[in-house]
Structure 1
Amino acid sequence: MSEATINTTELGEKIVRVLKTIYDPEIPVDIYELGLIYDVFVNEDHEVKILMTLTTPNCPVAETLPVEVEEKVKTIDEVKDAMVEITFDPPWSQDLMSEEAKLELGLL
């Protein structure tokens, strides 16, 4: 493995740790465990693209949550730039939540 590959993997893990500090204000579970993060892309220049969704298209945090995700990811030293893309394909459902999140919300 080249140094760049290791760094991208490590950076991906750091990004996930940051995402786990961001919570949906209506649900006491972080957005990663909630299944709102569909994918995290990191290129060799350490530019990050996050593909995420919201619980509903009319989500009250539709304006602020993606901005919070971008800003928090940009605080990681190695990240050169970050952008969030919102998608509703596939639409979010409780099936996307981790077991931990379902337990937390009493769904198991």
Structure 2
Amino acid sequence: MESETTIDTQELGEKIVRVLKTIYDPEIPVDIYELGLIYDVFVNEDLEVRILMTLTSPNCPVAETLPVEVEEKVKSLDLVKDAEVEITFDPPWTQELMSEEAKLELGML
């Protein structure tokens, strides 16, 4: 029974990534994960999540709403106790951070 109380943080991390892939940048038809906007996802033993992310630009029209959407969607996962999004522009986002899939989607390959 004990193994059921131990939650695999890697598995939870994968669930978080799946949620992140449902959130899209309003200006680019690619999800924020494939765009490379998510720099890091930390899950501690208390199942609190910290997401380090960036925006395509500091003047991004969704600078106020996108982090809130990310927080709310991640918090909606059953196992997550809390989620916090930290926005950084260091390093600044560039197209190099996009996945091959995103580049293909946008006709950049």
Scaled to the shorter chain, the TM-score interval is over 0.9
> Helix, strand or coil: the match of 2:91?
coil
RMSD value, Cα = 1.4
Q: Tell me which amino acid in the other structure corresponds to 2:12.
A: L
- Hey, which bits of structure 1, 4+ residues long, moved more than 3 A? 2-6
Alpha-carbon distance in 2 for matches of 1:31, 1:63:
15
- What does residue 63 of structure 1 align with? 64
Q: 1:5 to 1:105 in 2, by over 3 A?
A: farther
The gaps in structure 2 that reach 5 residues or longer are none
User: Secondary structure of the residue that 1:24 maps to in structure 2?
Assistant: coil
One-letter code of the match for 1:54? L
Aligned twin of 2:48:
47
TM-score of the superposed pair, with normalisation by structure 1: 0.95
- Quote the Cα distance in structure 2 between the aligned partners of 1:46 and 1:102: 33
Instruction: Give 3-state SS (helix, strand or coil) of 2:8's partner.
Output: helix
Q: C-alpha offsets along residues 29-64 of structure 1, whole Å, 9 cap, x if unaligned? A: 000000000000000000000000000000000000
Structure 1, unmatched stretches of 5+, are none
1:4 touches 1:44 (CA, 8 Å); kept in 2? Answer: no
What is the DSSP-based 3-state SS (H/G/I as helix, E as strand, rest coil) of the residue aligned with 1:73?
A: helix
Pairwise CA distance, 1:5: 7.4
The TM-score, its normalising length taken from structure 2, stands at: 0.94
Per the TM alignment, residue 4 of structure 1 is displaced from its structure 2 partner at its CA by: 7.7
Equivalent residues in 2 for 1:74-89, closer than 5 Å? 74-89=75-90
In 2, the alpha carbon distance for the partners of 1:39 and 1:5 equals: 23
Counterpart residue identity of residue 47, structure 2: H
